[in-house]
A and B are shown apart, each in its own frame.
Chain A
Amino acid sequence: GDSVTQMEGPVTLSEEAFLTINCTYTATGYPSLFWYVQYPGEGLQLLLKATKADDKGSNKGFEATYRKETTSFHLEKGSVQVSDSAVYFCALSEKSGGYNKLIFGAGTRLAVHP
């Protein structure tokens, strides 16, 4: 079946540093790709998404590009803030019985220090 692999955390950065969180996927077909974020004590929130190859999703300074040739969807941000500290999940949407099903990676915890 389809799967998502993302880099292990925790990732610890100083404020204003550049962030990359790697995500690769295995899928039959052409899934949509997502990044969800989970802040402490809260539910998952959609951060950004891309639905086809070469699409770039962006939100709140975060970006990720759907790379079909490398089956990747790496998350980047040019300058992180303390408020970006959270757990980030990469996910793909798999078709199952005519419906969409999200497959998540294990998550990467980001800690940003002042």
Chain B
Amino acid sequence: EAGVAQSPRYKIIEKRQSVAFWCNPISGHATLYWYQQILGQGPKLLIQFQNNGVVDDSQLPKDRFSAERLKGVDSTLKIQPAKLEDSAVYLCASTIRDRGGASSEQYFGPGTRLTVT
């Protein structure tokens, strides 16, 4: 079974530029998550999708971050314009389906390391 795929693996941009990250979850997984992991900290949830609908984006800085999952499969996270404090690893994860019961295992991709200079 193929895992969660992410690209690019590394990205360096200057502040005020824009950047996009792509994620392809495990086949058949309805729930997709984007996390931000700042150096020395644990991952923080940015947005959660159930199929192509957003179920939690309470911690997404919506003035500069956006995400979509138009066909309920792969997803794109965009930052526009980037700030220095956006330097982090952006992780994508998926799970079969979050029904709100006992939490099922989330499978993580390798992440995209973003450096904003």
Contacts and interface: CB of A to CB of B under 8 A. Distances in A.
Interface of A: 4, 32, 34, 36, 41-46, 49, 51, 89, 91, 93, 95-102, 104-107
Given A99-B48, A99-B55, A32 B111 contact: no
Contact of A44 (B40, B43, B48): B43
Nearest to A42: B110
Interface of B: 3-4, 31, 33, 40-45, 48, 50, 55-56, 58, 91, 93, 98, 100, 102-106, 108-111
Nearest to A100: B103
A20 B52 CA distance: 41
Contacts of B4: 43
A4 B91 contact: no
A57 to B, nearest CB: 12
B41 A101 contact: no
B108 A44 contact: yes
Contacts of B103: 32, 34, 51, 93, 100, 102
Given A43-B91, A107-B41, 9 more contacts: A32-B103, A44-B93, A93-B102, A97-B55, A99-B56, A99-B100, A101-B45, A101-B56, A104-B43
A105 B98 contact: no
10 contacts: A36-B108, A43-B91, A43-B110, A46-B106, A96-B58, A98-B100, A99-B55, A100-B100, A100-B103, A106-B42
Contacts of A36: 108
The 9 closest A-B pairs by CB, nearest first: A104-B42, A93-B103, A43-B108, A100-B103, A44-B108, A98-B100, A43-B110, A32-B103, A46-B105
Contacts of A43: 3-4, 91, 108-111
A91 B100 contact: no
Contacts of B42: 4, 89, 91, 104-107
A88 B91 CA distance: 16
A106 B109 contact: no
Given A42-B110, A101-B48, A96 B41 contact: no
A99 B110 contact: no
